[in-house]
Structures are given as structure tokens and as C-alpha cells.
């Protein structure tokens, strides 16, 4: 059987490389998980298309908050969630995004 290439296996946020792993997160009620210490982004493996891209952009948003120190400010986690989710939603509603080669 031919092995299918995964969608994206790495992403770079401000020069830091994060490995993207497609795993079962639904059982823990997550779609994505930004893990800065492990330098990983976990994405629920059943997500496809816009839902997968929206989740990836959402987690990149968390990466931006982490890398820039915004998560050390008075912006709480709940507000961070609203910001990253709505930016991700607006981007996927308006653009067809594909990974750079
Ligand atoms: Zn989030």
C-alpha cells in the first residue's frame, strides 16, 4: 500500500520550527494543541480541508502569542482563545490557503 504523505509535517513561527503531529485529540475534547516546550503542534487527525486549516492557523496564533510574549501580558487565556479563533475563522472564510513547498 502506498503511504500517503501527511498534509504538513512542520511549521515555522518566528524562526522556531514546530513538528505537526496528527493525532486523536477528540477523545480529550480538543481539535488542536500548541505545545511550546515540545516544539509540537497537535492536530486532530480526522480534520480535513478548511477545518484542518482553521485549526492549524488557530494553533499558529497561540504560537505567535507565546513567541512574542503576548501571553505574558494581561491578555488572559480566554481572550487569547477568542482572538486566535476569530482570526483563523476569518482567514479560512476568505482565502484558499496551501502550504509553501
Ligand atoms: Zn486555542
Q: What percentage of the chain exceeds 70 in pLDDT?
A: 94
Ligand 1 centroid distance, CA of 3 (Å): 31
Three-class SS state of 23: strand
Q: Note whether residue 27 is domain-resident.
A: yes
Core vs surface per residue 35-61: b (16+ CB within 10 A) or e: ebeeeebbbbeebeeeebbbbbbbbbb
**100 located within any domain:** no
CA of 59 to the centre of ligand 1 (A): 6
Residue 61, phi-psi category: left (phi > 0), alpha (psi -120 to 50), beta (remainder): alpha
Q: Is the pLDDT of residue 39 over 90?
A: yes
How many domains in the chain?
1
Full-model pTM: 0.90
Residue 4 lies inside a defined structural domain of this protein: no
CATH number for 83: 1.10.10.2910
101 found inside a domain: no
| Structural domain boundaries enclosing 49 | 10-94
Amino acid at each position: 500500500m502506498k503511504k500517503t504523505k501527511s498534509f504538513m509535517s512542520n511549521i515555522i513561527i518566528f524562526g522556531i520550527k514546530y513538528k505537526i503531529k496528527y493525532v486523536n485529540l477528540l477523545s480529550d475534547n480538543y481539535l488542536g494543541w500548541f505545545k511550546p516546550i515540545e516544539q509540537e503542534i497537535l492536530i486532530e487527525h480526522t480534520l480535513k480541508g478548511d477545518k484542518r486549516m482553521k485549526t492549524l492557523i488557530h494553533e499558529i496564533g497561540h504560537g505567535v502569542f507565546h513567541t512574542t510574549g503576548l501571553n505574558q501580558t494581561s491578555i488572559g487565556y480566554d481572550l487569547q482563545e477568542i482572538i486566535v479563533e476569530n482570526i483563523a475563522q476569518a482567514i479560512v472564510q476568505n482565502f484558499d490557503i496551501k502550504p509553501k513547498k
